[in-house]
Amino acid sequence: MAFELLPLKPEQHTLTFVPRLSLELPFFNLTVRRKDIPKVIKYAGRDDAGRPIRWEVYQDTSDEIGAPAVEAHEVWYLLVKPSIDSQRRTDGSIPEIIPLGGIRECLRKVGWTAGGFQARELIKALTQIAFAGCVADLWVPTGDMDQEGKERFLQIKGRFSRMSVYAIGEHHLTEEELAHRKFDFELEDVLYIRLDPLEAKLQQLQDRRILDNQYLFSLTPAGRRWYELMAAKIFGVVKNKGAFCEIRYSWYTQHHHTLKRYLDHKRVRFQMDRVIRDHLESGYINRVEYRTIKEPDQEIDYIIRYYPGPAAGDSIDRIRAHIQRKRKTPQRFIGRSAPSTHGPLRPVSMATDAAQKTALSVITAQGIELISSLLFGFGIAFMKAYELTLTQKESVALQLEAWPLRNIKPRNRAGWMIHAIEQHYEVPNSYLEHQRQSKQRFLSDSAKAAIRACKLCDSAGFRSLKTAKYPNGAMRQCTHDLMLESQLGNMLLPPSA
Task: Give the pLDDT confidence score for residue 342 in this predicted structure.
Answer: 38
In what side-by-side order are the strands of the sheet with 190-195? 97-102, 190-195, 163-168, 171-172
Measure CA 201 to chain center: 18
DSSP element (H, E) containing 401 = helix 393-402
Task: Give the pLDDT confidence score for residue 354 in this predicted structure.
Answer: 44
Residues 454 and 479 sit within 8 Å (Cβ to Cβ): no
Cα angle, residue 28 at apex, residues 274 and 41 outer, rounded to 5°: 95
Task: Give the pLDDT confidence score for residue 454 in this predicted structure.
Answer: 84
DSSP calls for 282-311 = HTSEEEEEEEEE--TTS--EEEEEEEE-HH
375 CB-near residues (< 8 Å, 6+ apart):
210, 323, 382, 385
Residues 413 and 207 sit within 8 Å (Cβ to Cβ): yes
What would the pLDDT profile of 282-304 be if each residue is shown by its tens digit?
999 999 999 999 989 889 999 99
Burial class (CB in 10 A: 0-12, 13-18, 19+), 468: exposed
For the whole model, what pTM was predicted?
0.69
Task: Give the pLDDT confidence score for residue 79 in this predicted structure.
Answer: 96
CA distance 276 to 212: 17
Task: Give the pLDDT confidence score for residue 488 in this predicted structure.
Answer: 66
135 Rama class: left (phi>0) / alpha (psi -120 to 50) / beta: beta
CA distance 164 to 127: 7
CA distance 377 to 152: 21
CA distance 106 to 125: 12
Beta bridge partners of 101: 191
What single letter denotes the amino acid at residue 189?
D
Phi, psi of 194 (to 5 degrees): -115, 120
Residue-range domains of the chain with CATH: 1-206 (no CATH), 219-329 (1.10.10), 361-447 (no CATH), 454-497 (no CATH)
β pairing state of 133-145 and 163-168: unpaired
CA distance 265 to 272: 11
Task: Give the pLDDT confidence score for residue 131 in this predicted structure.
Answer: 95
What would the pLDDT profile of 460-495 be if each residue is shown by its tens digit?
888 877 777 777 777 878 888 777 776 665 555 455
Give average pLDDT by consecutive 10-residue segment, the chain, 497 residues: 86 90 93 88 87 94 91 96 87 87 94 91 95 93 67 86 91 81 85 93 82 95 96 90 94 95 96 96 96 92 96 91 65 42 39 40 68 83 83 89 84 84 86 81 84 82 75 78 69 49
Crossing angle (nearest 10°) for helices 382-391 and 393-402: 110
Buried b (16+ CB within 10 A) or exposed e, 314-346: ebbebbeebbeebbeeeeebebbebbeeeeebe
CA distance 224 to 241: 24
Beta bridge partners of 98: 193
Task: Give the pLDDT confidence score for residue 348 in this predicted structure.
Answer: 37
Residues 374 and 380 sit within 8 Å (Cβ to Cβ): yes
